[in-house]
Amino acid sequence: MADVAARADAASAAERRVPSRMRAILQRKSTIAFLMTLPLLLLIAVLVIYPALYALHLATLNKRMTQFIGLKNFTFLFTRETFWMVVQQSCVFALTAVFFKAVIGFIVAHLVHNVPNNKQRKWRGMLLIPWVIPPAMSTLAWLWLFDPSHSAFNWLLGHAGIGPVPWIGDANWARFSVILVNVWIGSPFFMIMYLAALKSVPEQLYEAAKIDGATWWQTMRYVTLPMMRNIIAITALFSTIVTFANFDIVRVLTRGDPLDKTHVFATWAFRVGIEGGDIPLGAAVSLFMVPILTIAAIFILRDINRRGNEA
Amino acid sequence: MTYKKDKISRRRFVAGTAATTAVAISAPYVHTAYAAGSLNVGMWDHWVPGANAVTEKLIKEWAEKEKVDVTIDFITSQGQKLNLTAVAEGQAKAGHDVLFLASWMTSRQADLLEPVDDLMADFIKENGDVSDVARYMAQIKGKWRAVPSTFGAQMKGPASRIDLLKKHAGIDVQEMYPAGAKPKSDGWTYDVFLKAAEACHKAGVPIGIGLGTTADSVDSIGAIFSAFGAVLVDKDEKITVKTDNVRQVLDYCKRLYAFLPPDAPSWDDASNNKAFVAGQVSMILNPPSAWAVAVRDAPKVAEQTWHHPMPKGPKGRYASFLQPNIGIWSFSKNKSAGKSLLRHLNTRAAAEAMVAASKGYDNPPYSKFKSFKTWAEVGPPKGTLYHYPDPHQDQILSVAAMPSPHEVAAQIYAQGTMTKMVVRHAQGEDMEKTLSWAESEIEGFMR
């Protein structure tokens, strides 16, 4: 009888333990974090993972999309002169634009950092304007400035006895114009990230450097830059990805003209896939960005992790 | 009193159902309230203000008469939205029932479009034949896959400045193409055109032909290629880039390039219109949209504008004609209503209303529809559009890359292969190198 009673007690204790274990799981920080990010994960699955897999599927089909042809679209691209030109242009476009955005962002961040605190807000707001305007709209304004017949820049240069400059009519000028607009739009992002990083550098480090008699350059080299290194790497990575995959600026400003000399991956994929009616080849072009960006991301993130572990 | 119990045998039920289904499937579309149902129509958002309203009215009139619940979307072609819609609907096999198909979209989606041979046979019988370009764009592998549209169809012939051409090149375009009369255009050749381009260039008002990759540039150069008999891929899919005709046209275009605006390689479809309205050029190859804007914004430019056919080349007088179509998706649930709507939109009265609403811009595909009073009366100057629809059939209508097989032609057109050839050669690349580049590009399109 006592044995039966003990078993009954154990069973009821086990029943009590199940909800309490569930409660414990639910109360774990990781579970809560997972549940809170679940809507976002689902959104990413629907809007990013599914289209990516679908693009992968499309890239393995023939031109009429009736037959599986494996990797033939990719190998075909390797034989095309225009494709290699687009690869080269995309790299030049992304690296040049990111470099100038980083340099301008860095300089402007320092300038704003030195503005008295009560006036900084106004400057930050004004300097962010290029970044917050939808790029397609601001690029349209730039197109009017570069317009072949009515360029405002050429009008000004004409008064100074210079020009007219074929801003988007000549291949080299067109490449310059596209990069210029990208730098104009993207620099504020670097500026705001670098400004945040600058504000997080402990003031004591600068005081110590000052006491040690460090010059401006030494302070920059041994205090500011090491403290900003991770932010610089992450910002550069993020911007490289976004710049590499850019579509709107090139599409609105030059459409890849003249002679395809301003095409980047996304605009050429659109030209081949949507305008030219070869969707599988267009999908293959756009997927070429993935391995290039993955390699860049692995290197940069590995570097950041290593420094994080060292710290 | 006894009641006879009605018993339906299994055999009777099956036979009855089959008969009902057969009648439902094979029944012709009857123009009565039985046509009820819904129809979702996607049309192009017309450039000319007021043109959409008339087409909307025509569709709603039809819907009311046929008791069809119709919805109409006017979709812009800006940013390729119309083409994207067609591609997306083709992929999803869902969307509109009836859709406006810009240029190459009919051939691209041919397998998903309901054949309309029955409609076209009736339309041609009633309205006159259609041009070769209309046939090329809508009749795919012997089957009409869509109906050539009046709404949005356009001829890209010269819109010339009467005063500037007379003053600088000694050409009287009104005398060559008098309003209401047959053309006296024997002397209007590409040699004369080149001399006029040189004279106007010297005077600071060049002929405004773009050399970019958008439709106006491609169509303009396409017409010149056709006039020289220069075809990049023939109808049997044979690459014919390295031929004398292509060399001849490239040589001609190189000479012409020297007299075009220096930034012509970057021109888009708005550039020529803007330059014309601003009075910076003496001629553009465009439908009357630039003139319509000038009527509003630059009346003095409009008063001096005359629309007329293209110059004659060694192989004839060719003009680019942009022929859109209207198709019915094969996955539409109301194909019979779609066909009924297309019958309504292809009557003489409907076409005349569209031409009037578009102020003469729309250019119907049928030969009996080339003499509407709008073109004779609209101005200023009165008669400026008389020759726009080519009422005396002075030209051969074509489109860039015709008669190449559609899949290749669409790529040649979209990539602007012809304009790129012109720019490459004109900017100093050796002729044979340009031809080899074009050949390699086309081999890629034909994979």
Domains B5-153+323-369 and B156-321+383-445 equal at CATH topology level: yes
Retrieve residue B244's tokens.
């004398």
How does residue B13 score in pLDDT terms, banded at 50, 70 and 90? low
> What part of A 219-258 touches B (C-beta under 8 Å)?
254-258
The minimum CA-CA distance between B423 and chain A, rounded to whole Å, is 8
Q: pLDDT tens, B41-99? A: 999 999 888 899 999 999 999 999 999 999 999 999 887 899 999 999 998 999 999 99
Q: A-B interface: how many C-beta pairs under 8 angstroms?
A: 80
Using the beta-carbon criterion (under 8 Å), do B437 and A254 form an inter-chain contact?
Answer: no
Contact by Cβ (8 Å): B131, B260? no
Using the beta-carbon criterion (under 8 Å), do A277 and B414 form an inter-chain contact?
Answer: yes
| Residue range B123-137: mean pLDDT, rounded | 96
Domain definitions of chain B by residue range:
5-153+323-369, 156-321+383-445
Nearest CA in chain A to B280: A149
How does residue A1 score in pLDDT terms, banded at 50, 70 and 90? very low
| More confident: B30 or B45 | B45
Spatial CA neighbour of B322 closest among B445, B214, B185, B194: B214
Looking at every residue in chain B, the average pLDDT score rounds to: 91
How does residue A230 score in pLDDT terms, banded at 50, 70 and 90? confident
A274 and chain B in contact, CB less than 8 A: yes
For chain B, what is the radius of gyration of the CA atoms? 25
Kindly list the residues from chain B whose CB atom is less than 8 angstroms away from the CB atom of residue A275: 80, 83, 414
| More confident: B3 or B344 | B344
pLDDT of residue B15: 57
| More confident: A88 or A238 | A88
pLDDT of residue B385: 96
Using the beta-carbon criterion (under 8 Å), do B213 and A278 form an inter-chain contact?
Answer: no
For chain A, what is the radius of gyration of the CA atoms? 27
Q: pLDDT tens, B222-273? A: 999 999 999 999 999 999 999 999 999 999 999 999 999 988 998 989 899 9
B397 pLDDT higher than 80:
yes
The CATH code of the domain at B5-153+323-369 is 3.40.190.10
B29 pLDDT higher than 60:
no
Using the beta-carbon criterion (under 8 Å), do A255 and B213 form an inter-chain contact?
Answer: yes
Using the beta-carbon criterion (under 8 Å), do B104 and A277 form an inter-chain contact?
Answer: yes
ipTM more than 0.85? no
A12 pLDDT higher than 80:
no
Q: pLDDT tens, B89-106? A: 998 999 999 999 998 999
Residue with tokens 């726009």: B388
B1 pLDDT higher than 50:
no
pLDDT of residue B197: 97
Looking at every residue in chain A, the average pLDDT score rounds to: 87
The whole-model pTM stands at 0.82
Using the beta-carbon criterion (under 8 Å), do A276 and B415 form an inter-chain contact?
Answer: yes
**Lowest-pLDDT choice from A144-153, B219-228, B339-348:** A144-153
Q: pLDDT tens, A105-114? A: 999 999 999 8
**Lowest-pLDDT choice from A32-41, A144-153, A170-179, B81-90:** A144-153
B11 pLDDT higher than 70:
no
Q: Which CATH class is domain B156-321+383-445?
A: alpha beta
Q: Which of A164, A254, A277 sits opposite B407 (nearest CB)?
A: A277
Q: Which of A79, A149, A260 sits opposite B274 (nearest CB)?
A: A149
Query: Above pLDDT 90, what percent of chain A?
Result: 50
> What part of B 204-243 touches A (C-beta under 8 Å)?
212-214
- With helix as H, strand as E and coil as C, how does chain B read? CCCCCCCCCHHHHHHHHHHHHHHHHHCCCCCCHHHCEEEEEEEECCCCCCHHHHHHHHHHHHHHHHCEEEEEEEECCHHHHHHHHHHHHHHHCCCCCEEEECCCHHHHCHHHECCCHHHHHHHHHHHCCECHHHHHHHEECCEECCEECCCCCEECCEEEEHHHHHHHHCCCHHHHCCCCCCCCCCCCEHHHHHHHHHHHHHCCCCEECCCCCCHHHHHHHHHHHHHCCCCCECCCCCECCCCHHHHHHHHHHHHHHCCCCCCHHHCCCCHHHHHHHCCCCCEEECCCHHHHHHHHHCHHHHHCEEECCCCEECCECEEEEECCEEEEECCCCCHHHHHHHHHHHCCHHHHHHHHHHCCCCCCCCEHHHCCCHHHHHCCCCCCCCCCCCCCCCCCEEECCCCCCCHHHHHHHHHHCHHHHHHHHHHCCCCHHHHHHHHHHHHHHHCC
Using the beta-carbon criterion (under 8 Å), do A276 and B441 form an inter-chain contact?
Answer: no
Using the beta-carbon criterion (under 8 Å), do A168 and B263 form an inter-chain contact?
Answer: yes
pLDDT of residue B20: 52
Using the beta-carbon criterion (under 8 Å), do A169 and B264 form an inter-chain contact?
Answer: yes
pLDDT of residue B5: 45
B441 pLDDT higher than 70:
yes
Backbone angles phi, psi at B237, to 5 degrees: 70, 25
How does residue A16 score in pLDDT terms, banded at 50, 70 and 90? low
pLDDT of residue A29: 81
